[in-house]
Amino acid sequence: LKRLGSGDSKRRKMDRMPSPGAQAVQIVSNTWARDSHDLFDFEALQLHTKNLTASGSVQCIRSGTDVQLLNEHATPPPGSDQLLRLVQRGGALWVDKALPPANSKKLWLVVRDLAPCGQKLTEGDIIKLGRFKFRIRQVAASACDGVQPELRLDDNCASCMIDVTKDDEHLTCRICLLDGHGEDDPLISPCLCKGSVEYVHLGCLRHWIRGRLNLSDNASGSYFYRPLACELCKGLYPAYVQGPDGRAPLAEVPKTKPPFIALENMVRDSMQHSSRGLHVISLADNKLLKLGRGHESDVRISDVSISRCHATIRVHEGQVVLEDNNSKFGTLIAMKKPRLLDTANTISIQVGRTVLSLSLQRYAEQVYSPMPQVVPGNAQDERALRLLLLTGSSREEGGFQGFPPDWQGGAAQGAQGTPQETQPDEEL
């Protein structure tokens, strides 16, 4: 009877198991106890860890440090933070932002848990080092076509027009105080100033900009560019000037040797980057670009959330890739669209102070053999069946082991109401 009961429990367990070919997402959540600038300390020893399993469309929320899964249509409890959603669509599972998207937190992919050779960078990507953010403005992974960096921080790049047909007898450069256009050095009006200080020679303004940006001539042509403003009217100077021969940069920047990358800093720090700017760094000659707080970093960021050597950028197999250097607060890249989960890769997503590791698993087909069903014929046959179950005997073809072959038939016929001759108790 005990074995019969265990067989029933096995059948109930098999009924609860996913059907063959079903898929589920194993989720491991780690939450940092501190809530500071949406950071997660990857070196912390005391983390709140929880294992969850989702087999369909669900939403993931956090109440304090406890991470829970709710039905996709359920209302989250008051005071909880919505982390992300798992959406089942077309037989596949996708990771997406929580609803509504306007109030949801941004999802960040943890670079250290992505591909072993680094994360490929494309134009428009946003990377986050600690609490400092960069936008990838331009990427040139090869030296073809002789492309040069675009000195623009906005999509609409204004230009200053050069008009050499205007009478320049009474026009004076406000820097050198000379009248008229110079040889290959026209007068331009680059800002909002009017009157006697409206015009300036292009060469004079370029010399002033070069000194302010501290542009140095180096072999690779790496530099930091930021838009400058007029000291009188406070209007920003344009990035380009438009003349008869075409468009040219207002600032005379060094010629960058490709491949290169242009990073726009999006978050200000108190020491170096007081405004938006553009880091143009050449990756020629297998250069390893270092980003961090240390003095040896190519892009130095003076922020307490940045490690000394936080991350690196290099060219690998014709692609510009980003790699984390085991930093304390991690290297992240913004997830711009829903991401498809697959069984080959496990991804980690940071949402605020919580990191969720998601892995997709598929259940293979399992073969299950049910327990034999035997119907007793009369009281003696029922006693024999109980004795059979207690002694661990099993049914074989042609009858039960240890019993005459006609006993099984008698049991079957007895179940139909036909009296059968049974064996004496002594033989049993």
101 and 177 in a single domain? The answer is no
CA-wise closest residue to 316 among 267, 236, 259, 358: 259
60 neighbors 66 (Cβ within 8 angstroms)? no
Residue 316, both tokens: 């690998």
pLDDT (0 to 100) of residue 364: 59
CATH of the domain at 184: 3.30.40.10
Does residue 214 have a pLDDT over 90? no
pLDDT (0 to 100) of residue 298: 93
| Per-residue confidence band for 320, with pLDDT thresholds at 50, 70 and 90 | very high
Answer whether residue 245 is part of any domain.
yes
User: What CA–CA distance (Å, rounded) separates 428 from 425?
Assistant: 5
Does residue 347 have a pLDDT over 70? yes
User: What CA–CA distance (Å, rounded) separates 124 from 336?
Assistant: 10
Residue carrying the six token digits 């005459």: 404
Does residue 367 have a pLDDT over 50? no
% of the chain exceeding 90 in pLDDT: 51
Average pLDDT over residues 359-368: 67
220 and 156 in a single domain? The answer is yes
250 neighbors 205 (Cβ within 8 angstroms)? yes
Answer whether residue 55 is part of any domain.
yes
323 and 347 in a single domain? The answer is no
Does residue 3 have a pLDDT over 60? no
Average pLDDT over residues 132-139: 94
In 240-310, DSSP assigns E strands to 240-243, 246-249, 260-265, 277-282, 289-292, 299-300
| Per-residue confidence band for 408, with pLDDT thresholds at 50, 70 and 90 | very low
275 and 325 in a single domain? The answer is yes
Residue after which a domain boundary falls, among 223, 239, 255: 255
288 and 351 in a single domain? The answer is no
Query: How many domains does the chain contain in total?
Result: 3
pLDDT (0 to 100) of residue 279: 93
Cβ within 8 Å of residue 155, ≥6 positions away: none
Cis peptide before 424 (omega within 30 of 0): no
**For 339-384, what is the HEC assignment?**
EECCCCCCEEEEECCEEEEEEEEECCCCCCCCCCCCCCCCHHHHHH
Q: What is the pLDDT of residues 183-208, one digit of tens each?
A: 788 999 999 999 999 999 999 999 99
Does residue 389 have a pLDDT over 80? no
C-alpha dist (Å) from residue 193 to 39, 85, 188: 45, 53, 11
CATH of the domain at 280: 2.60.200
Q: What is the pLDDT of residues 65-92, one digit of tens each?
A: 999 999 989 999 999 999 999 999 988 9
Average pLDDT over residues 133-147: 86
% of the chain exceeding 70 in pLDDT: 76
pLDDT (0 to 100) of residue 14: 44
Residue after which a domain boundary falls, among 216, 240, 255: 255
Q: What is the pLDDT of residues 145-173, one digit of tens each?
A: 678 898 877 765 678 888 776 766 788 99
Range of the domain at 130: 119-143+256-334
Beta bridge partners of residue 94, listed in sequence order = 87, 340
209 neighbors 237 (Cβ within 8 angstroms)? yes
Q: What is the pLDDT of residues 230-275, one digit of tens each?
A: 999 999 899 899 888 888 889 988 889 999 999 999 865 444 445 6
Does residue 410 have a pLDDT over 80? no
Q: Is the pTM of this model over 0.95?
A: no
| Average pLDDT along the chain | 82
Q: What is the pLDDT of residues 11-34, one digit of tens each?
A: 444 444 455 557 899 999 999 999
- Cβ-in-10-Å burial (0-12, 13-18, 19+) of 373 comes to exposed
